Amino acid sequence: MRSRLRLGGACVAVLALLGARHVPSHAQAAQQYAIRVMPPGGPAPRLPDGHPDLSGHWLPNSAGEGVSGRDGVDPAARRQFDPKVTPEAPPAFQPWAEAKIKAMTPVELELSKSSVNCMPRGLPAIWLQNPYSTVIVHTPAMMAQLYEVLNNWRLVYTDGRPAPKDPEPWFHGTSTTHWDRDTLVVDSFGFDERTFVTPTGWFHSDAMKVTERYTRPSKNYLIVEITVDDSKVLTRPWKSAPRRWTLGNGEVYEFYCTNNRELDELGKLKEQESYGK
Amino acid sequence: MKSLRTAGLVIVAAGVLLTAVPSSAHHSFAAEFDASKCRDFSGTLTKVEWTNPHGFFYVDIKDPDGTVHNWSFQTYALITLRRAGTSLQLFKDNIGKDVWVRGCTAKNGKEHYAAAGTLKFASDGVVRQMGQLQD
C-alpha cells in the first residue's frame, strides 16, 4: 500500500511539474532547437474584396521551412497538429470496406500509395498525405493551387459559377465555393476512383464528397480542415484535425516522377508473396 | 530508492508522450528494405542520378575477397535533400572520392542495391541524412 501511495505521489508530482511548467519549459526548451515553431507574423493579408488572401508558399509543418532529414528541429515545429490538442478520429468504415482494406498485403498496400506509384494524389489526399509544399495564388475570382509534388495543379473558381450537372471524374473533383465569414469553404464531388484518401488503404467510391475549409488566422499560417463524406464506404463523415501549413520562402522545386524503380522492385516482392501463398 | 526509480520511469514515459509526433505521410521503408540487414559501406563514389521520386548514387565497394561491385543507393526525393541542404553539385564534387554510407539492403534479394540512411563524404566529414531506415 505504501509503495502504491509513493508511486501515486510520484506520478502526481511529475504531472504537476509538467503541467505547471509546460508553457515556459517548452519555450525554454525550444531555444535549443535551430528550427522552431514559426511566429504568427501579424495579420493575414486581404483581397481587394475584403476576404482573407490565401496566397503564399505553404509548407506542411509549423516551421515555415523543410524539416525532413534535418537535425535540431523542435518536435512541435514538425507537426501540422497536436493530436493531444486536436485529436483526429479514425474513419468509420462500413464492414465490407474494412474487410477489403484488411485483406491487402503489405506489398499491395505499398503499391496503392501515390508516393510509390506516382499517380496524382488527388483530393483530399493532396492535403492529407503530401510532405511537399504548395503555392496558392488567390484572386477574388479564383484560387490556383500549384502542388510541388508531381508538378500537379488545380484551379478552384470562387466567382460563384455553378457546378456542371454531370462532371467527368477528376483527380481533384469539381468544386463550388462560398465564404463562411473569413473561412473559404470548397465543396467538391465527381472524383476519379483510382486515388486513396490516406496511405493506409483508405479507398473511396464515386459517391465521395469532400469539403475543404481554409482559414488564414495570421500572415504565416494557413489552416486546412477536410471533411470526407462517402456513403458507400463510410458509416459517417470523417473530419480531419485543423492542419497547419506555414509560409515558406518561395523556393519551389521541380518534381517530375521519371525514375520510379519501386514498381519493379515491389513487383518482384509481390511475385514472391504470391509464391508464398 | 524505489520511489526515485519510479519517478524516473514516469519522467521518461511523460517525455516520450510529450515528444511523440505523428509520422509524416510517406511510403514504407519496411515494405521494400530489410531493417535487419543494415550495415556500413565504404568505397568510391562513381555516379549520381538526380531524379524523382528518388535520387540514386553509386559506389564501388570492395568485398573481403577483393572483388569490386558497383552498389546503388536510393535516397529521399530531391526536394527533401535540397531543403536539408544537400545539392547535386555536392555529389558531383565528390565523384571519384571516398564515401561512407549506412544503408539497408532490399527485401526482394536484389544484389548490390540498398536504401541509404546517412552518408559522409571523406572530403568534408559531414554526416548527411539521405533517407529513413525505418517507418
The residue type at A100:
K
Lowest mean pLDDT among A40-54, A148-162, A261-275, B103-117: A261-275
List the single residue in B28, B83, B113 with the smallest CB-CB distance to A66: B83
Distance in angstroms (rounded) separating the CA atoms of residues A137 and A155: 10
Asked whether the beta carbons of B30 and A266 are under 8 A apart, the reply is: no
What residue in A sits closest to B73 (Cα-Cα)? A261
Asked whether the beta carbons of A25 and A19 are under 8 A apart, the reply is: no
Confidence label for B24 from pLDDT (cuts 50, 70 and 90): very low
The answer to whether domain B26-129 has CATH 2.40.50.140 is yes
Decide which of B19 and A216 is more confident. Answer: A216
Distance in angstroms (rounded) separating the CA atoms of residues B112 and B132: 19
What residue in B sits closest to A119 (Cα-Cα)? B53
The residue type at A65:
E
Mean pLDDT, range B13-35, rounded to an integer: 55
Instruction: Classify residue A163 by burial, with Cβ atoms within 10 Å: 0-12, 13-18, 19+.
Output: middle
Distance from CA of B17 to the nearest CA of A (A): 10
pLDDT at A96 over 50: yes
List the single residue in B3, B54, B79 with the smallest CB-CB distance to A132: B79
Question: In chain B, where are the structural domains located?
Answer: 26-129
pLDDT at B19 over 90: no
> How many Å separate Cα B125 from the centre of its chain?
15
If you compute the radius of gyration of chain A from its CA atoms, what whole number of angstroms results? Answer: 22
pLDDT for the residue numbered B21: 33
Asked whether the beta carbons of A159 and A142 are under 8 A apart, the reply is: yes
- B26:A199 CB<8 A: yes
pLDDT for the residue numbered A272: 81
pLDDT at A268 over 90: no
pLDDT at B26 over 70: no
Distance from CA of B96 to the nearest CA of A (A): 24
Residues of chain B found within 8 Å of residue A87, distances taken between Cβ atoms? none
Decide which of A53 and B9 is more confident. Answer: A53
If you compute the radius of gyration of chain B from its CA atoms, what whole number of angstroms results? Answer: 18
Asked whether the beta carbons of B67 and A145 are under 8 A apart, the reply is: no
Taking only the tens place, the pLDDT of each residue in B91-126 is 999 999 999 999 999 988 899 999 999 999 999 999
pLDDT for the residue numbered A22: 42
Mean pLDDT over the full length of chain A: 90
Q: Is A198 on the interface with B (CB under 8 A)?
A: yes
pLDDT at A6 over 70: no
Distance in angstroms (rounded) separating the CA atoms of residues B119 and B130: 7
Residues of chain B found within 8 Å of residue A130, distances taken between Cβ atoms? 25
Q: Is A260 on the interface with B (CB under 8 A)?
A: yes
Phi/psi for B134 (5° steps) reads -165, 165
What residue in A sits closest to B23 (Cα-Cα)? A79
Distances (CA, A) of A164 to A145, A167, A189, A201, A237: 21, 6, 11, 30, 24
pLDDT for the residue numbered B16: 33
Residue to test with chain A: of B6, B11, B57, B127, most A Cβ within 10 A: B6
pLDDT for the residue numbered A31: 79
Asked whether the beta carbons of A157 and A74 are under 8 A apart, the reply is: no
- Rounded to a whole number of angstroms, the distance between the first and last alpha carbons of chain B is 38
pLDDT at A176 over 80: yes
Give the number of other CB atoms < 10 A from CB of residue B109: 11
Asked whether the beta carbons of A256 and A150 are under 8 A apart, the reply is: yes
Q: Can the peptide bond before residue A124 be classed as cis, meaning omega within 30 degrees of 0?
A: yes
Q: Is B61 on the interface with A (CB under 8 A)?
A: no
Chain A, 110 to 139: residues with Cβ < 8 Å from chain B are 110, 113, 115-116, 118, 128-133
pLDDT at A59 over 60: yes
Q: What would the grid cell of residue A257 be?
A: 516522377
- B53:A69 CB<8 A: no
Residues of chain A found within 8 Å of residue B22, distances taken between Cβ atoms? 79-81, 83
Residue to test with chain B: of A195, A259, A273, most B Cβ within 10 A: A259
pLDDT for the residue numbered B116: 97
Lowest mean pLDDT among A26-40, A77-91, A248-262, B48-62: A26-40
pLDDT at A23 over 50: no
Q: Is this complex's ipTM strictly greater than 0.85?
A: no
Residues of chain A found within 8 Å of residue B11, distances taken between Cβ atoms? 14
pLDDT at A197 over 70: yes
Task: Please give the interface size between A and B, counted as residue pairs whose CB atoms are below 8 Å apart.
Answer: 131
pLDDT for the residue numbered A112: 92
Taking only the tens place, the pLDDT of each residue in B2-14 is 444 444 443 333 3
Mean pLDDT, range A54-83, rounded to an integer: 96
Asked whether the beta carbons of B42 and B103 are under 8 A apart, the reply is: no
Mean pLDDT, range A206-233, rounded to an integer: 98
Residues of chain A found within 8 Å of residue B132, distances taken between Cβ atoms? 69
Distance in angstroms (rounded) separating the CA atoms of residues A82 and A75: 10
> How many Å separate Cα A164 from the centre of its chain?
27
Strand partners, A173: none
Distances (CA, A) of A76 to A18, A27, A219, A247: 16, 11, 19, 16
pLDDT for the residue numbered A25: 59
